[in-house]
Amino acid sequence: MKPQHLYINGEFVESQSNDIIDVINPATEEVISKVVDATEEETNNAVESAWRGQKEWEKVPQIERGQIVRKIGDEIAADKETFAKMLSEEQGKPLEEARGEIDTAVSFFHYMSEWNRKIGGDIMPSDDPNEQILIQKKPIGVVAGIIPWNYPVFIFARKVATSLITGCSVVIKPSEETPNTAIAFSKILDNVGLPKGVYNLVTGKGDTVGNRLSSHPKVALISMTGSVPAGTKVMEAAAQNITKVNLELGGKAPIIVSKHADLDLAVKNIKASRIENAGQACISAERVYVQEEVADAFTKKMVAAMEDTKVGYSLNDDNVEMGPLSSAHHLEKVESLVNNAKDNGARIEVGGERMNMDKGYFYAPTVITNVKHEDEIMTTEVFGPVLPITTYKTFAEAIEYANDSIYGLASALYTNNYNEMMQAARDLHYGETFVNRETGEAIQGYHAGMRQSGIGGTDGKHGLNDFLSTHVMYLAYKDNN
């Protein structure tokens, strides 16, 4: 029997597809499960089912929607250890990090559940004394939620919780590399009291299932997290029906370390950011600009910290700080970027190569110097545990370097100088800036990028907006004399 992983119209269904995808544990290189690349008919069925389900769901009072959203969080929390292991196995992050991701996903469902009875509209004064203007916030409709492999659990929560609380139905397409946790969560969603069709899941590849979802006329919003090239294709497909897109794409977060910084704090936080998830986070520290006067001291400490990283397979060893990269092709991409940098004269201070392990896609924590702002390693997203460092003279120059990027997601600043902080607040053109703190966003904040890092955003009250439509009614009346 083929894998029964598609969840459509309130049921798990057996796929008719003969295209089977292996899911691989990146630490052991073993095949841990198989999923199908769903057919066109199955993808269309999922959207049709969501379309019907949405009509029912939008009439369910917000308070009841909130109760269901909260219950999903409770049920995930109840089986935290199972899901954490599953996540670590399919994606490679250390078990402790996987536990943290499950906790964040649970918090996300709980946070979103509390928006019930709070999503409202406005009454605006009219220019006409016999008129009332009513502005309603309504669910946008069917959401296609396309998920990447780096945070498959948290981003599942981001897309599903936000859709459900706003009254939208959703079709989830997990990454073909990490579908197991989303499939397991579908068993929870099957049992929380959702009307049929409100939640659906189809497995498959980006250029097949992802493309069909993005070009389907009954999808009202494509909420996709992934790379810039895939985001571009989603926009092209969406253009056929003028479908709204919510895209969270790549980043190349600049980190400015001033001579006024606490260098030990900077080193501790930059290391944590660069090795989290083996550097595969869109907001992770991707390039460092350090002020000349403190460059040597900072680099020495940074090299020592990165060198002192315990790398391995955390399901075999509790002390592991960093796991493998998620797949063989991501390892190859990181390797090729570092090799190009070496060929162009960069100096490898530590790391700079694959790790000598029996199995798995492990790359050593790496620090690179002797690079310039315009070099490929400073401008292209690496998405691995690789930290290139260059220097700057004046703070204005550092800001200029930071802003000079096709990306505009996260940025960070280490300084204890008030004027530098305020100058950064005014002059940095980024969706997010972390000051004297590790990268990592709050659920009640707002996560969004500028330039090629994306369109629209998620989290907090501002994150609800993309999932809502605005309907204005002009209510004219006569005086009853």
Which residues would be at the binding site for ligand NAD (CB under 6 A)? 146-151, 173, 175-176, 205-207, 210-211, 214, 224-227, 230, 233-234, 248-251, 282, 381, 383, 409, 447, 449, 454
| Smallest distance from ligand NAD to CB 326, Å | 8
Among residues 90, 97, 101, 282, the one annotated as catalytic is: 282
- Considering the complex, state which of residue 184 and residue 192 has its C-beta at the smaller distance from ligand NAD: 184
Number of neighbours of residue 56 by Cβ within 10 angstroms: 14
- Considering the complex, state which of residue 167 and residue 210 has its C-beta at the smaller distance from ligand NAD: 210
Identify whether the C-beta of residue 404 lies closer than 8 Å to the C-beta of residue 398: no
- Spatial distance between the Cα atoms of 198 and 192, rounded to a whole number of angstroms: 12
Identify whether the C-beta of residue 360 lies closer than 8 Å to the C-beta of residue 313: yes
CA distances from 270 to 150, 264, 326, 367, 410 (A): 19, 10, 21, 12, 13
- Considering the complex, state which of residue 149 and residue 362 has its C-beta at the smaller distance from ligand NAD: 149
Q: Residue type for 8, please?
A: I
351: its two tokens: 């790391």
User: Taking the mean position of all CA atoms in its chain, how far away is CA 129?
Assistant: 48
248 is catalytic: yes
Look-up: residue for tokens 């694959």?
A: 354
| Smallest distance from ligand NAD to CB 325, Å | 11
- Considering the complex, state which of residue 213 and residue 263 has its C-beta at the smaller distance from ligand NAD: 213
| Smallest distance from ligand NAD to CB 157, Å | 13
- Considering the complex, state which of residue 177 and residue 349 has its C-beta at the smaller distance from ligand NAD: 177
Closest residue to ligand NAD, based on beta-carbon distance: 206
How much is the CA Rg of the chain, to the nearest whole Å? Answer: 24
Among residues 48, 97, 176, 248, the one annotated as catalytic is: 248
- Spatial distance between the Cα atoms of 463 and 199, rounded to a whole number of angstroms: 20
| Smallest distance from ligand NAD to CB 202, Å | 11
Look-up: residue for tokens 């075999």?
A: 316
Q: Where are the alpha helices (DSSP H) in 321-368?
A: 328-343
Largest CA distance in the chain: 89
**Residue 309 burial class via C-beta count within 10 angstroms: exposed 0-12, middle 13-18, buried 19 and up:** middle
| Smallest distance from ligand NAD to CB 381, Å | 6
- Considering the complex, state which of residue 22 and residue 207 has its C-beta at the smaller distance from ligand NAD: 207
Residues 6 or more apart in contact with residue 158 via CB below 8 angstroms: 108, 225, 458, 459
| Smallest distance from ligand NAD to CB 140, Å | 19
Identify whether the C-beta of residue 390 lies closer than 8 Å to the C-beta of residue 289: yes
Q: Provide the annotated active-site residues.
A: 248, 282
